[in-house]
Structure 1
Amino acid sequence: MARPLTDAGDLDVLLDRVGEARVPWLAEASHGTHEFYAWRAALTERLVAERGFSFVAVEGDWPDCDRVDACVRRLSGAPGDPRAALGTFERWPTWMWANDEVAEFCRWLRAHNAVLPQGERIGFHGLDVYSLWESLRAILVHLREHDPDAVPTALAAYRCFEPYDQDPGAYARATRFVPENCENEVVDLLVRLRERAAADGPERFRAWQHAEVVAEAERYYRAMIGGRLEAWNIRDRHMAATLDRLLAHYGKGSKAVVWAHNTHVGDARATDMAEAGEVNLGQLARERHGSADTVLVGFGSHHGRVVAARAWGAPTEVLPVPPARPGSLEDVLCDAAPEHAAFVFPDGERSPEVLTDELGHRAIGVVYHPERERWGNYVPTVLGERYDAFLWFAETRGVRPLPMSVGDVLEPVERA
């Protein structure tokens, strides 16, 4: 059942499991673990080089990742080194994507694209919902150059948000006590850009996606004040819809590799998330694309170190990851599996108990308190139903963040 992992050649078993699937989802149990990022990149490189995947989509902001996309696809005016594009990320936690591991993968992707025609180069895109102000500014820049008649519509949306000084928390709190919000202005903007996106073309598509981000971010930040459930579902449905738009934009036969946290990738119906009314990307992918076109790959580890912070917006630290809680999935695998291993789950009723029993499965977010994790950080999980495959690393170390300054936003909804 477990296949030891020593180098990228050992990933054959996962390439075979992906087969002809249109979207493999490659996860991570934390946003700051070297092994998760490095092995996910190694698998993605093989999928791109050997199976003809069209783009990589990540749990990152659309405008930040758009700059990386321009770099890796070698567009005019883009930086010549992905580290420079990643170094412009502003929203905390910047280390989530601005790290050496992602930079090395993007350098590989840029080199891979160098020998491909422009229309066949592999893209790099962000699926997330947070970039309200950045996307508004990008829309204004686009419209002033390409569609001046639409500028008043965009300015109406921008001016509606302007009193909140780029603070989504201030906007969300204001809408709780005052019935007026910016929804109408945002909808008008979105309708206008949707109509023009029918003309196709990469510039119009980018502007349309920025408008979709603005619309969903406005809903997301309002929902956060009322409770985490609605906000979580808005965010994951937005990411799923963005992926579908990208697949349609790339055209018939396009295929995507997606990178996101286990809590987004692993099917929510195999966890306690479903009982709470939460959906996630893995569930939506199986429902929208079917099991033949969807492969969910989870990640996990037993102990080591991780890059995280002790509070939202706090300085980055390399924190210890203590040995997993007794009786957890990670505890079981530490006793039974090789130090580094790949699991591909069999179908049928004779699956091992570790795949069919409900076990706690560790999830580490960008905010992490090692001393408290035995009372939290574990998601009740039926492993064989949550994922189609699993990558295991007994001991791990932290990612290597790029040096940079950081900005801050309202604390989002996280399960870990």
Structure 2
Amino acid sequence: MLDLPDARNRMVEVHLSRRGIHDHEVLEAMREVPREAFVAPGFEEFAYEDGPLPIAEGQTISQPYIVALMIEMAEIGPGDHVLEVGTGSGYAAAVMSRIVERVYTIERHAGLAETARQRFEELGYNNIEVRTGDGTKGWPDAAPFDAILVAAGGPGAPLALQEQLDVGGRLIIPVGDEPHDQRLLKVTRTGAATYSEEDFGGVRFVPLIGEQGWPENGSLADRPSGRARMRSLPEMIAAAAEPLPDFDDPAFGELFDRFGDRRVVLLGEASHGTSEFYRARAAITRRLIEKHGFTIVAVEADWPDAAAIDRYVRHRSSRADADPPFQRFPTWMWRNTDVAAFVDWMRLHNERIRISSRLAGFYGLDIYNMSGSIAAVLQYLDRVDPQAAKIARERYGCLTPWQNEPSTYGRVALTSGYEKCEQAVLEQCRELLAKQLDYAQQDGVDFLDVTQNARLIASAERYYRIMYYGGAQSWNLRDTHMFETLEHLLEARGPNAKAVVWAHNSHIGDARYTEMGIVRDEVNIGQLCRQRFGDGAALIGLGTHSGTVAAASDWDGEMEIKRVRPSHSDSYERLCHDCGVSRFLLDIKRDDTLRERLLERRLERFIGVIYRPETELRSHYADASLSQQFDAFVWFDETAAVTPLGPEHVGTGVPDTYPLGL
């Protein structure tokens, strides 16, 4: 059963303190007030997740971070008298009551007001007064107020509320020309008739209904306005969007010439099973290879599996007794018709080039296939240094029982019997690197393969061991390994080498500007590339609104074709859908105004190899700042699932392990 006090403390530490709420009194008040007492029955277990929750009358209880942010902005303290407009569940008023002398709160829904009053009485919060009425008119007989907080978005700051501020008082209110798209403003009364205003970014609140707010129908059609209407965010996206032609149209790739001078171009995906994402990345990559000299295609796949593909595309013979690549779950991620078509194109391209330094290679960045890596190292050493192969077999002995199911190694590694395994694996890696010159003279390409396999084994040993400790360590080790692999590839291919990376948005979008980095202290390859290459790295995300996707319901489960639910109303995906352009490139850096509007944190959808539509909001959405996370965003409003390779896709005249042997 969920430990609610513990969850409350975690909310304060993770969702508030780490995200920049520093006011000690606000943090302690949030730690004291039981949010579970203010949510609707049945939602108690979600009380300390950082998201809004539905309450009666079609209203919501705001997410904890927004509550804390608005209270901190109001700069309230002991002795203050505060007015709240929009009581809702009563949670924000309860939090403020732990800080100030008196809270006055107005709610237009009588039922909500009465329920909140009862909650305050039950909790012993006796310094709160509740009134039912039009909050846009304020509470004149209790004025002036040291602070006024409005928990609904209006077309402007009501004059009545401004006039009820004491000099020096602060009004915190969401304001915008659309009922559901606002900016969070702080209005400070600086004199008898003077005010200053600060903008704290975009938010989404329910409409402020009242005489000085929105009418019941939420429209301002009959209201005169003294200024031109500000464009909505979907309208701004539509204006900046560059429509995408068909994938086979050369103009598609040409749109991405602007990134051709980068050292690394990272191409994301919002799911691992969407055809349009693979086809778009293939079209962009073809252009970067043909016109801009990129020679590295580095993908979120296991090194030994990708190495089999690399041998095919670079016209090299296959490894003896090599297993067909990409046989492990999720097979459809790389064994699909879109990848096969791109791999065949790479082979034909390289056949035309025939200059080894200019051949485009296909490489895996990931950490999972320990078994294949051990086999590759031993086979190579058997050929070039049998004595070293014998030593390697002894060193890898502690991993051998687990190499086919390495996740089980983590459990055993926690016991003392396997403490020496890490040292043995690292020693093997160091020895291979020490013999680099000697081995490389025999076959430099094979040596790159075997040394990377050795690095993978060393990383995998640590990865599967620490995954049982939980936390961010295993994710960080995995993405750091992927980044270091990319660095090794760039080094091996020469000082002018350039790389295209294919990975999920969660890996290539800068983690520092997502819930991953802010809340969970996770890093990713996108962040590391920005830190290493600066403007030499381009981070390009891909997204969709709805359609179908190839995914499983559980890890190691069967692939299913699932219907992707329409994007959430509070998400970046919904903004893109609402712009009305079905497929486009959004170059975020080209429009400063749009970039600033997209700084605000919203929900973003992440579908991996597992998709659970029934719990989508909790399972597949996280907060992110799109314009900080990516340099550009590619959008397909409606998408379709990938087609897994079957026997009918096996070509003639090509060894059955190439490109994706069956």
Q: What is residue 645 of structure 2 aligned with on the other side? A: 402
Q: What is residue 542 of structure 2 aligned with on the other side? A: 299
Distance 1:259 1:4 in 2: 22
For structure 1, which segment, 343-352 or 367-376, has the greater mean C-alpha deviation from structure 2 after superposition?
343-352
Distance 1:228 1:154 in 2: 32
Structure 1 residues 71 and 170, CA, compared in 2 at 3 Å: closer, same or farther?
A: same
Equivalent position amino acid for 1:94 in 2? T
Question: How many angstroms does 1:327 deviate by?
Answer: 1.4
1:277 to 489, 502, 521: 521
2:539 counterpart SS class: strand
Residue 290 (structure 2) pairs with residue 40 (structure 1): no
Question: How many angstroms does 1:12 deviate by?
Answer: 5.5
1:60 counterpart SS class: strand
Q: Which has the higher contact order (CA 8 A, sep 6+)?
A: 1
1:371 counterpart SS class: helix
Distance 1:115 1:16 in 2: 22
Equivalent position amino acid for 2:451 in 1? W
Over residues 299-341 of structure 1, what are the superposed CA-to-partner deviations in whole Å (9 max), with x where a residue is unaligned?
Answer: 0000110000001111110001010111111111111141011
Q: What is residue 384 of structure 2 aligned with on the other side? A: 146
CA contact (8 A) 1:153 1:185 kept: no
Question: How many angstroms does 1:379 deviate by?
Answer: 2.0
Question: How many angstroms does 1:272 deviate by?
Answer: 1.3
Gaps of 5+ in 2: 1-239, 648-662
Residue 395 (structure 2) pairs with residue 160 (structure 1): no
Q: What is residue 263 of structure 2 aligned with on the other side? A: 22
Over residues 64-122 of structure 1, what are the superposed CA-to-partner deviations in whole Å (9 max), with x where a residue is unaligned?
Answer: 0001001011113489xxxxx99632221011111000000011111111111241211
How many residues in Structure 1 have an aligned counterpart in Structure 2?
398
Distance 1:13 1:151 in 2: 49
CA contact (8 A) 2:367 2:459 kept: yes
Equivalent position amino acid for 2:501 in 1? V
1:398 counterpart SS class: coil
Q: What is residue 372 of structure 2 aligned with on the other side? A: 134
Q: What is residue 225 of structure 1 aligned with on the other side? A: 468
CA contact (8 A) 2:548 2:562 kept: yes
1:185 to 414, 419, 424: 424
Distance 1:168 1:395 in 2: 38
2:296 to 41, 55, 73: 55
Question: How many angstroms does 1:15 deviate by?
Answer: 2.3
Over residues 270-300 of structure 1, what are the superposed CA-to-partner deviations in whole Å (9 max), with x where a residue is unaligned?
Answer: 1111121100011000011112x10000000
CA contact (8 A) 1:64 1:126 kept: yes
Q: What is residue 242 of structure 2 aligned with on the other side? A: 3
CA contact (8 A) 2:370 2:460 kept: yes
The percent of aligned pairs where both chains have the same amino acid is 41
Question: How many angstroms does 1:347 deviate by?
Answer: 5.5
2:301 counterpart SS class: coil
Over residues 112-141 of structure 1, what are the superposed CA-to-partner deviations in whole Å (9 max), with x where a residue is unaligned?
Answer: 111112412110000001111211111111
CA contact (8 A) 2:371 2:403 kept: no
Equivalent position amino acid for 2:641 in 1? G
Q: What is residue 499 of structure 2 aligned with on the other side? A: 256
CA contact (8 A) 1:17 1:344 kept: no
Q: What is residue 239 of structure 1 aligned with on the other side? A: 482
1:170 to 405, 408, 433: 408
1:287 to 503, 523, 531: 531
Residue 359 (structure 2) pairs with residue 121 (structure 1): yes
Distance 1:245 1:177 in 2: 33
CA contact (8 A) 1:86 1:97 kept: no
Q: What is residue 68 of structure 2 aligned with on the other side? A: none
Question: How many angstroms does 1:247 deviate by?
Answer: 0.5
Q: Flag the structure with higher helix content.
A: 1
Structure 1 residues 327 and 94, CA, compared in 2 at 3 Å: closer, same or farther?
A: same
Structure 1 residues 3 and 349, CA, compared in 2 at 3 Å: closer, same or farther?
A: closer
Q: What is residue 110 of structure 1 aligned with on the other side? A: 347
Question: How many angstroms does 1:179 deviate by?
Answer: 5.4
Question: How many angstroms does 1:222 deviate by?
Answer: 0.5
1:356 counterpart SS class: coil
CA contact (8 A) 2:253 2:286 kept: no
Question: How many angstroms does 1:19 deviate by?
Answer: 3.4
Q: What is residue 196 of structure 1 aligned with on the other side? A: 435
Q: What is residue 411 of structure 1 aligned with on the other side? A: none
Distance 2:298 2:255 in 1: 19
1:343 to 573, 586, 605: 586
Question: How many angstroms does 1:348 deviate by?
Answer: 7.2
Q: What is residue 75 of structure 2 aligned with on the other side? A: none
Residue 324 (structure 2) pairs with residue 96 (structure 1): no
Q: What is residue 328 of structure 1 aligned with on the other side? A: 571
Question: How many angstroms does 1:151 deviate by?
Answer: 1.5
2:435 counterpart SS class: helix
1:57 counterpart SS class: strand
Structure 1 residues 163 and 346, CA, compared in 2 at 3 Å: closer, same or farther?
A: closer
Distance 1:169 1:60 in 2: 17
Q: What is residue 407 of structure 1 aligned with on the other side? A: none
Q: What is residue 410 of structure 1 aligned with on the other side? A: none
Q: What is residue 305 of structure 2 aligned with on the other side? A: 64
Equivalent position amino acid for 2:306 in 1? C
Question: How many angstroms does 1:268 deviate by?
Answer: 0.5
CA contact (8 A) 2:257 2:288 kept: no
Distance 2:492 2:288 in 1: 20
For structure 1, which segment, 337-346 or 304-313, has the greater mean C-alpha deviation from structure 2 after superposition?
337-346
Question: How many angstroms does 1:378 deviate by?
Answer: 1.2
2:563 counterpart SS class: strand
| TM-score (ref. length: structure 1) | 0.91
Distance 1:77 1:19 in 2: 32
CA contact (8 A) 1:86 1:103 kept: no
Distance 2:593 2:445 in 1: 49
Distance 1:66 1:77 in 2: 10
Question: How many angstroms does 1:372 deviate by?
Answer: 1.1
Gaps of 5+ in 1: 80-84, 405-416
CA contact (8 A) 2:299 2:363 kept: yes
Distance 1:295 1:232 in 2: 22
Q: What is residue 198 of structure 2 aligned with on the other side? A: none
CA contact (8 A) 2:303 2:365 kept: yes
Question: How many angstroms does 1:11 deviate by?
Answer: 3.3
